Amino acid sequence: MREIVFDTETTGLSPSDGHRLVEIGALELVNRVETGRSFHVYCNPEREMPSDAFAVHGLSDAFLANKPLFSVEAQNFLDFIEDSPLVAHNAQFDFGFLNAELERAGRAAVAMERMIDTLAIARTKHPGAKHSLDALCTRYGIDRSQRVLHGALLDAQLLSQVYVELTGGRQIGLTLGAETESASRERAPTERAARAPRRPVREPRPHSASPEEQQRHAAFIADLTDPLWPADRFGT
């Protein structure tokens, strides 16, 4: 199954207040495994960057001045995501900005039915805990040492690892993940037998005494003095 994990950086909290998308990063998962394919672009927001937003991601007006408008990159992004489900953390926020930019560019909105919100999954799986991306990375032992500031592609990469952990861990990407424990136990003896080295077949050995052995045994019993068992038990 193909899925796209993505993240955005913006000039503020709501597109309805005139805020714009300034960065989008996305990467491809197939069966919960990163394929190495990604999409990343900075966009000129056509407005000044508020200081509080700059403090979060560090993207300045000067840095963004020569970057393309989102409308220029919209088709490239749509080609990358195709019709795959889209995974985001607090996905309502990212979908809101993405669809506002698509509308501005004269494009159709991405259907909300494609949204997978890792924040909602985390709240269900870990009620009462902290659910920020940083907190979830700490919970699952994911290295976020490079995350000094927010960055869309880096956050998407971290989120992809969090998403895998939230939905079952790395085992689900393996063929053996679908096998039950009991089936594995039933299969193991057969596999061990198949791997065992072949030994030469021996003819069955006789287990009854020969007539000569019976005569020698009878002579031995006859020489016993005051035996503890009846002699007739031994054929004498």
Indicate which residues carry an active-site annotation. Answer: 150
Q: How far apart are CA 211 and CA 56, in angstroms?
A: 100
Cα(28)–Cα(156) distance, rounded to whole angstroms? 10
* Cα angle 41-45-47, degrees, rounded to a multiple of 5: 155
Residue whose tokens read 């489900």: 85
d(CA 46, CA 155): 24
Tokens for 12, please give them. Answer: 């503020």
Contact 133, 119 (CB under 8 A): no
Distance set, CA 83 to CA 35, 80, 133, 211 (Å): 17, 9, 25, 88
For CA atoms 76, 80, 85, 87, give the dihedral sign: negative
- The structure tokens 């037998």 sit at 193
